[in-house]
Copies of this chain bind each other. A is one copy, B any other.
Amino acid sequence: MKVGVVGIGHGLFGKRNDATVQELAFEPFSEAMEDAGITQADIDATIIGSSPEYHKQRSLPGVVTEYIGMNPKPAFLTEAACASGSAALYSAYGFIKAGMFDVVAVIGVQKMMELSTPEILALMGRVGDVQWESNFGTTFPGYYALYARRHIHEYGTTEEQMAQVAIKNHFYGSKNPKARFQKEITLEKIMNSAMVASPLKMFDCCANADGAACLIIASEQRARKLSDTPVWIEGAGSATAPFSVLNRASISTIPSAVEAGRKAYKMASVEPKDIQVADVHDCFTIAEIMAYEDLGFCKKGEGGKFIEEKQSYLGGKTPVNIDGGLKSKGHPVGATGTSMAYEAVKQLRGEAKETQDDGAEIALTHNLGGIGQYCFVNKYRR
């Protein structure tokens, strides 16, 4: 039995001091219900994707279901660090496949901007191994700087190539009304920005954000009734990698991404070359370059060249993050996976306006958790 997306919604990402976490969740939920032409009465359960530790309000599914009018129906939260939104979608996908529910709302939501940057950095560091790593000072930029250094060492990737990822994503982000940063950026500005963790400079790093995005998914039968343009989740790959980078055979690749990608390609019976548009987890510019390779859009080590040749622009081999990516949208941890899925559905429905990849029929999303400890890769088909 197929599972289809019948409604999508996306709130504004950014500093959202205007909204509580439940209010953030309601925005895209309400938009998605309208999009699907349904009300709460038609929805059987709510699955929240979020990283709980950023919120003063604990147990979000409870407070959200009350606020959005979904009591007494089932709800819980899924967590897989920065891939929590995709974990929620994965879980909801399972419930529908199982025949337990017909229609499920998946809401990725995160409110983190009330915390200071040092507080957020410290919290993020604790997604590293606190026994052997983060207690000794590793932070997220630090981890990804290690990956970048190794990639440079092994493949000759350059800092300018990394900067090109930021240029592309800000270029497309400038056209995305839901992005935190809706403006373009120059090579000069990136190269001259403050060093965060060498070789990563400030504009190699995505920004934190508050935000939420929602998908309403349904069983094949219900999806066909509810929507003239259902988008099918044809592949759902999930994998883990050693939690500690000390235990990985290589740090110039994310093994969970390779494995989740392999599973999703197999399930959907497609190959990398069939992917017409993709959203990948560009928490840092090097992460997007590694994603090109890990997902097979190019050969291992050729990710730098791939962006340099603009193969990930619209019109290139595989357009990537043409919604602006985490880099320009911002990265409200739990919402990111659902934001990616939102973009995939928009592209496949032909509703992406000036960033539309004309005729796209197959889209991919790639959502990493933490420093690659989790990866969820989905394939969507219209």
Contact = CB atoms under 8 A, between A and B. Distances in A.
B127 A59 contact: yes
A131 B20 contact: yes
B130 A240 contact: no
Contacts of A96: 98
Given A72-B255, A74-B238, A373 B97 contact: no
A94 B47 CA distance: 13
Interface string A298-328: 0000000000000000000000000000000
A79 B50 CA distance: 10
Interface string A237-264: 0111111100100000001100100000
**Chain A contact residues: helix, strand, loop or mixed:** mixed
B58 A81 contact: yes
Contacts of A53: 52-53, 58
Contacts of A236: 100
Contacts of A238: 45, 74, 76
| Identical chains bound together, number | 2
Nearest to A376: B74
Contacts of A61: 79-80, 240, 374
A195 interface: no
A240 B71 contact: yes
Nearest to A130: B57
B243 A65 contact: yes
Nearest to A1: B98
A259 B126 CA distance: 38
Contact of A242 (B71, B83, B129, B241): B71
Contacts of A131: 20, 57
Interface string A41-85: 000010000011100111101110111001111111111110110
A108 interface: no
Interface string A91-112: 1011111111000000000000
A149 B309 CA distance: 71
A123 interface: yes
Interface in A14-52: 20, 45, 51-52
Contact of A94 (B65, B81, B94): B94
A75 to B, nearest CB: 5
4 A-B pairs with the lowest CB-CB distances in the bound complex, closest first: A97-B98, A62-B373, A74-B238, A66-B243
